[in-house]
């Protein structure tokens, strides 16, 4: 065997000896690699999620698809609040091949600075930059961006809904407005029903890589619920325009009117002046962004006397034979009560007390009832308690009672004629409406239907409780008719051909040391037709030049009532009673 052959044989032996070792090493290495791969998929789920998340982030973007906020309609289906779609735009710089072109096209469409856009695109390491920093753009402008082929790949969009109120200032204090990019309700119905109106948005994964389809998101977008109101748009416009005129004619600071359907408690119109535009609420005075009809508590003055008289009659303390001797002064509980004109009236009955608006008369009734019966009656009328009307921000007013640290015996007297306590306009009309509605207090409401897709939920009128008996309600009603018929009193509230039940009020305005001098809150509350009420109306004028409710609020009531009987189709009493006798329809109130 030659040396060459021996060398080859030696090399072959060496290879044969080492081969198993090499094979074993390769097998072990392969096994380790397989184990490592397995650990990524099965042994380390957090690592797997991280790598998947990185992959998704590099190939997709997330677009929030907002739920469309529910619409708000008046009772006849006229839109009072709906939505307009708008867009926010951004750019993914890593997908831009021609920054100058993209900047130029976006600047032309969005009316922005071209160099500023170019700088944003080129001077960043971010994977996305916002272009519409000053707020979303309209759907029309947004569509121009979406249709521009030069911007298709690099531009991303977010769809947002902007709340729009097509009637402008109309019913703004009822509707309220929305804030922030989520269109969150800030006041009024928008706040009270925010959860129902808002619906539910979803996040949709959008591919940023051609031919890549991301996994579908298993979520369902839930649109907001629509609301149908008890408010009549045309009647609301009538009330708002007349109120502005009454405020101007009487040189008043402000005013409020509520029109309630007597049998149901439905609010047909509710307005305060001055008001605001919910489409531009940011530019408005913050003090205007309220609903005074439910938030502004005040001492109601003499219109409150109808509740005291009703309470006295219901308790049995006063009846049709009751009288007292009005000497012009009542000294009790360390105070002296006088009538509004500081006159004495002699022997008077309960009807005279309302017709002449006698402070001494109602104070005498309250004393004869005593604190327990008097304040029990006021609680039944809802004084000092929320009506729970479905509008955000309601105030409860103030009623001190025996046992409270700040109550005194003199409060019994002053409360009887509407001083030393406070109510909101909605509380006052809800209480007075119980007299119009045969003693039944109705829940005041603004929404009569909620609509979710094909499902319509009707909200029926709600009786809160019986406050007084039918006979008591009719007795007080008849007294209120005589108030309006009195030639020396509130006859300026009369409407020819119609029986009106009403009461004036001239309330002093409290301050830190007592009451303001020479100023008042003038009010009138009434319902008609008196024997079969269709609507109850409250008018409040703040600091009118004429001071007295009989000279300011009463004529305003008469003017408005003349408009209401025409709009609501309420016949004159003679026609109505004749139709009723023949079994015909007496009204077209909607």
pLDDT at 126 over 50: yes
To the nearest whole percent, how much of the chain has pLDDT over 70?
A: 85
Residue 332, CA distances (Å) to 336, 364, 409, 589 in order: 7, 10, 9, 48
Q: Average pLDDT of 94-102?
A: 89
Main-chain dihedrals φ then ψ at residue 337, nearest 5 degrees:
-100, 130
> How sure is the predictor about 582, in pLDDT bands with cuts at 50, 70 and 90?
confident
Poorest-pLDDT segment among 60-74, 157-171, 188-202, 513-527? 60-74
pLDDT above 70 for 454: yes
The whole-model pTM stands at 0.83
pLDDT over 70 at 372, yes or no: yes
- The contacts found for 333-340 with CB under 8 angstroms, 24 or more apart, are 333/408, 333/409, 333/410, 333/412, 333/413, 334/409, 334/410, 335/410, 335/413, 335/414, 337/363, 337/413, 337/414, 340/302, 340/506
Q: Give the span between the Cα atoms of 291 and 278, in whole angstroms.
A: 13
Give the pLDDT mean for 175-202. Answer: 89
| Domain ranges within the chain, ordered by starting residue | 62-228, 233-581
Asked if pLDDT for residue 410 goes beyond 50, the answer is yes
Q: What is the pLDDT of residue 212?
A: 47
**Cβ-based neighbours of 361, under 8 Å, separated by 6 or more:** 324, 326, 348, 350, 352, 353
User: Three-state SS for 258?
Assistant: strand
pLDDT given for residue 134 in this prediction: 81
**Contact partners, residue 504, CB within 8 Å, separation at least 6:** 302, 303, 357, 483, 489, 490, 493, 522, 523, 524, 548, 549, 550, 553, 554
Report the pLDDT value the prediction gives residue 589, as an integer from 0 to 100.
47
> CA-to-CA distance for 75 and 77, rounded, in angstroms?
6
Would you state the pLDDT for residue 211?
44
DSSP 470: H
CA dist 231 to 79, 235, 270, 305, 339, Å? 11, 8, 8, 29, 39
CB atoms within 10 A of CB 430: 25
Mean pLDDT over 147-171 rounds to: 86
State the average pLDDT over residues 161-190.
92
Q: Is 233-581 assigned to CATH 3.40.710.10?
A: yes
> What is residue 370's predicted lDDT score, i.e. its pLDDT?
98
Report how far residue 303's alpha carbon sits from residue 520's, in angstroms, rounded to the nearest whole number.
13
Residue 515 has pLDDT above 90, yes or no: yes
At residue 43 the predicted structure's pLDDT band, cuts being 50, 70 and 90, is very low
Reading the block at residue 378, the tokens are 């006021």
With beta carbons less than 8 A apart as the criterion, state whether 203 and 215 touch: no
Q: Which of 25-34, 72-81, 235-244 has the lowest mean pLDDT?
A: 25-34
> Computed from CA positions of residues 506, 507, 509, 514, in that sequence, does the dihedral angle turn out positive or negative?
positive
**pLDDT at 33 > cutoff 50:** yes
Average pLDDT, the chain: 89
- Helix (H) / strand (E) element for 144: namely helix 139-147
Burial class (CB in 10 A: 0-12, 13-18, 19+), 163: buried
Task: Give the per-residue pLDDT at 427.
Answer: 98
Closest alpha carbon to 539 in 152, 172, 250: 250
From residue 313, how far is each of 352, 355, 476, 589 by CA, in Å? 14, 16, 9, 31
Mean pLDDT of 475-503: 95
Of the given ranges (48-52, 226-230, 297-301, 552-556), which has the lowest mean pLDDT? 48-52
For residue 27, pLDDT beyond 80: no
Kindly give, in sequence order, each residue whose CB lies less than 8 Å from that of residue 157, ignoring residues fewer than 6 positions away: 63, 87, 88, 89, 90, 142, 145, 146
Sign of CA dihedral 342, 343, 347, 351: negative
Residue 218 has pLDDT above 50, yes or no: no
What's the mean pLDDT in 372-385? 98
The highest-confidence range among 48-52, 162-166, 554-558, by mean pLDDT, is 554-558
Q: Report the share of the chain in percent with pLDDT over 90.
A: 67
Checking if the pLDDT of 124 tops 60, the result is yes
Pairwise CA distance, residues 39 & 33, whole Å = 10
Instruction: Tell me: pLDDT of 52 over 70.
Output: no
Closest CA to 293 of 537, 491, 114: 537
Residue pair 235/567 in contact (Cβ under 8 Å)? The answer is: yes
Q: Is the pLDDT of residue 65 over 70?
A: no
**pLDDT over 90 at 10, yes or no:** no
> What pLDDT was estimated at residue 219?
47
Q: How open is the CA angle 256-259-265, to the nearest 5 degrees?
A: 125
What is the per-residue pLDDT for 206?
56
Output the CATH code of domain 62-228.
Answer: 3.90.1310.10
């Amino acid at each position: 065997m030659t040396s060459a052959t021996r060398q080859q044989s030696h090399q072959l032996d060496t290879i044969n000896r080492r081969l198993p070792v090499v094979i074993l090493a390769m097998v072990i290495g392969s096994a380790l690699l397989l184990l490592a791969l397995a650990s990524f998929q099965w042994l380390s789920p957090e690592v797997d999620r991280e790598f998947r998340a990185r992959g998704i982030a590099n190939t997709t973007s997330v677009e929030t698809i907002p739920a469309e906020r529910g619409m708000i309609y008046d009772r006849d289906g006229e839109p009072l609040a709906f939505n307009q779609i708008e867009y926010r735009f951004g750019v993914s710089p890593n997908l831009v091949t021609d920054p100058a072109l993209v900047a130029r096209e976006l600047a032309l469409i969005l009316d922005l600075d071209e160099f500023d856009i170019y700088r944003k695109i080129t001077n960043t390491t971010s994977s996305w930059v916002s272009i519409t920093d000053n707020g979303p753009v309209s759907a029309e402008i947004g569509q121009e961006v979406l249709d521009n082929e030069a911007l298709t790949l690099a531009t991303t969009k977010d769809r947002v809904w902007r709340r729009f109120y097509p009637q402008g200032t109309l019913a703004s204090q009822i509707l309220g407005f929305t804030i922030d990019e989520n269109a969150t309700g800030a006041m009024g119905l928008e706040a009270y029903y925010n959860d129902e109106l808002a619906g539910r948005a979803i996040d949709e994964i959008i591919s940023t890589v051609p031919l890549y389809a991301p996994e579908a998101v298993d979520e369902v977008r839930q649109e907001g619920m629509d609301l149908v109101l008890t408010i009549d748009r045309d009647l609301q416009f009538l009330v708002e325009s007349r109120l502005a005129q009454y405020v101007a004619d009487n040189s008043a600071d402000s005013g409020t009117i509520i029109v309630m359907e007597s049998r149901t408690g439905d609010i047909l119109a509710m307005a305060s002046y001055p008001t605001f535009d919910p489409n531009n609420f940011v530019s408005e005075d913050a003090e205007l962004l309220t609903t005074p009809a439910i938030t502004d508590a005040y001492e109601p003055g003499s219109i409150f006397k109808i509740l005291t008289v009703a309470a006295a009659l219901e308790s049995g303390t006063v009846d049709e034979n009751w009288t007292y001797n009005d000497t012009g002064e009542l000294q009790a509980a360390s105070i002296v009560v006088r009538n509004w004109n500081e006159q004495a009236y002699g022997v008077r009955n309960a009807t005279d007390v309302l017709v002449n608006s006698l402070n001494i008369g109602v104070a005498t009734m309250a004393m004869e009832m005593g604190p327990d019966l008097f304040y029990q009656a006021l609680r039944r009328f809802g004084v000092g308690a929320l009506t729970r009307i479905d509008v955000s921000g309601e105030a409860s007013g103030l009623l001190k009672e025996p046992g409270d640290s700040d109550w005194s015996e003199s409060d019994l007297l002053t409360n009887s004629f509407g001083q030393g306590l406070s109510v909101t306009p909605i509380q006052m009309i809800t209480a007075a409406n119980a007299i119009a509605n045969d003693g039944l207090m109705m829940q005041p409401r603004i929404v009569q239907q909620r609509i979710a897709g094909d499902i319509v939920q009707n909200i029926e009128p709600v009786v809160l409780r019986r406050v007084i008996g039918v006979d008591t309600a009719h007795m007080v009603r008849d007294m209120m008719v005589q108030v309006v018929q009195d030639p020396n009193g509130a006859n300026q509230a009369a409407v020819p051909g119609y029986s009106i039940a009403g009461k004036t009020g001239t309330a002093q305005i409290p301050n830190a040391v007592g009451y303001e001098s020479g100023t008042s809150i003038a009010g009138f509350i009434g319902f008609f037709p008196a024997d079969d009420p269709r609507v109850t109306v409250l008018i409040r004028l703040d600091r009118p030049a004429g001071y007295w409710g009989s000279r300011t609020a009463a004529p305003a009531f008469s003017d408005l009532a003349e408009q209401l009987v025409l709009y609501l189709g309420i016949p004159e009493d003679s026609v109505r009673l004749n139709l009723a006798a023949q079994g015909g329809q007496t009204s077209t109130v909607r």
